[in-house]
Amino acid sequence: MLFERGQITTYRDVDMARVTFNEDLCKGCKLCIDVCPKKIVVIKDDVLNKKGYHPAGVVEMDKCIGCAFCAMMCPDCVITVEK
């Protein structure tokens, strides 16, 4: 990664994990919520997907440790974890 003049980039910024959900495949079973050690996966009560479920998503992404337990647990391959 390049560091430009005036840019503040911490080790944590560079190394942070990113978790994405293919929301329309989610059936809201909550298995990913139960398994997350940081308790940052939640059901998005204000969103309805194409199947008519409230999908799961991550709040406070900066707390994610990239363990990928959520992705491994999901029976519908909704979740992708990048580190």
Binding-site ranges for ligand SF4 (CB under 6 A): 17, 19, 21, 26-32, 36-38, 40-41, 56, 58, 64-70, 73-74, 76, 78-79, 81
Give alpha helix (H) positions in 1-83.
Answer: 11-15, 31-35, 69-73
Q: How far is the CB of 24 from ligand SF4 (least distance, A)?
A: 11
CB-based contact 21:55 (threshold 8 Å): yes
Q: Which residue has the tokens 């997907």?
A: 49
- For residue 48, the minimal CB distance to ligand SF4 (Å) is 13
Write down the least CB distance from residue 15 to ligand SF4, Å.
Answer: 13
Sign of CA dihedral 49, 53, 56, 57: positive
Choose between 9 and 34: whose C-beta lies nearer to ligand SF4.
34
Place of tokens 């980039």: 9
| 6 or 27: CB nearest ligand SF4 | 27
